[in-house]
Chains A and B, each alone.
Chain A
Amino acid sequence: KNQVEQSPQSLIILEGKNCTLQCNYTVSPFSNLRWYKQDTGRGPVSLTIMTFSENTKSNGRYTATLDADTKQSSLHITASQLSDSASYICVAKAAGNKLTFGGGTRVLVKP
């Protein structure tokens, strides 16, 4: 069964600090791994898409890593801003199949 698990479920960080979110996935055959940002009451917005051959990909202050051997990914947020407060959803795609979403990590950045 394809599934994605994220940790932690939620975290609180101070503005300007860094944080790292974790994702473990089980999809077969693996095609790509995505991270989305979802503001409260809004639809998810894509941050990164990585294939099995990509170890890291950045989008501004967001850096995603992928270890296809251990089936783990992380999303690192550098120098957090208040606007980073959102849910971050890890999504794995099996080849020729639909997306499998994790439950998300809710991040709250405090001033």
Chain B
Amino acid sequence: DTGVSQDPRHKITKRGQNVTFRCDPISEHNRLYWYRQTLGQGPEFLTYFQNEAQLEKSRLLSDRFSAERPKGSFSTLEIQRTEQGDSAMYLCASSPGTGDYNEQFFGPGTRLTVL
């Protein structure tokens, strides 16, 4: 399967714990995006990378959130001191270029539940 993959698919954690999610984009896609999606809502933009450079962060990305893409390939999203409000689906997408018409290909998501 050469699509976008995410790991884990599901994560249950207790409030206050740290969690880390991984995204492997489609090979050679230089743009990588993170989104958060709560039940019944559309995805909300969190941040994106052009190769290894993080170019934009949403105001939704509090100081407890950090994302990296160290070698311009896979990316990690870490949430420190999780809160119940962090419970959501975290989606990763990749895109082959910077043009306005480039399609974003989404992974299956990581479902986070904070107890």
Which A residues are within 8 Å of any B CB, using their own CB?
Answer: 4, 9, 31-32, 36, 41-46, 49, 51, 89, 91, 93, 95-96, 98-99, 101-104, 106
Q: Does B111 contact A (CB under 8 A)?
A: yes
Task: State whether B42 touches A42 (Cβ < 8 A).
Answer: no
Give the total number of A-B pairs whose CB atoms are below 8 A apart.
Answer: 52
| Contact A41:B109 (CB < 8 A) given known A98-B45, A102-B42 | yes
Count contacts on B: residues with CB < 8 A to the other chain: 22
A-facing mask of B84-115, CB < 8 A → 1, else 0?
00000001010000001101111111010000
Task: State whether A31 touches B44 (Cβ < 8 A).
Answer: no
Task: State whether A43 touches B40 (Cβ < 8 A).
Answer: no
Q: How far is the CB of A62 from chain B (nearest CB, A)?
A: 15
CA distance A37 to B86 in the complex (A): 24
CA distance A51 to B2 in the complex (A): 28
Task: State whether A104 touches B42 (Cβ < 8 A).
Answer: yes
* Contacts A/B (CB < 8 Å), 23 sampled: A31-B101, A32-B101, A41-B108, A41-B109, A42-B108, A43-B93, A43-B108, A43-B109, A44-B91, A45-B106, A46-B103, A46-B104, A46-B105, A89-B42, A89-B43, A95-B100, A98-B45, A101-B42, A102-B42, A103-B40, A104-B40, A104-B42, A106-B40
Q: How far is the CB of A51 from chain B (nearest CB, A)?
A: 7
Cβ < 8 Å to A, chain B residues 43-72: 43-45, 48, 56
Q: How far is the CB of B90 from chain A (nearest CB, A)?
A: 10
Task: State whether A44 touches B101 (Cβ < 8 A).
Answer: no
What residue in chain B is nearest A90 (Cβ atoms)? B42
What residue in chain B is nearest A44 (Cβ atoms)? B106
Task: State whether B42 touches A103 (Cβ < 8 A).
Answer: yes
- Which residues in A have their C-beta under 8 angstroms from that of B91? 43-44
Task: State whether B44 touches A43 (Cβ < 8 A).
Answer: no
Please give 5 more A-B residue pairs, beta carbons under 8 A apart, in addition to A43-B106, A103-B42, A104-B42. Answer: A9-B40, A45-B106, A46-B103, A98-B56, A103-B40
Task: State whether B109 touches A101 (Cβ < 8 A).
Answer: no
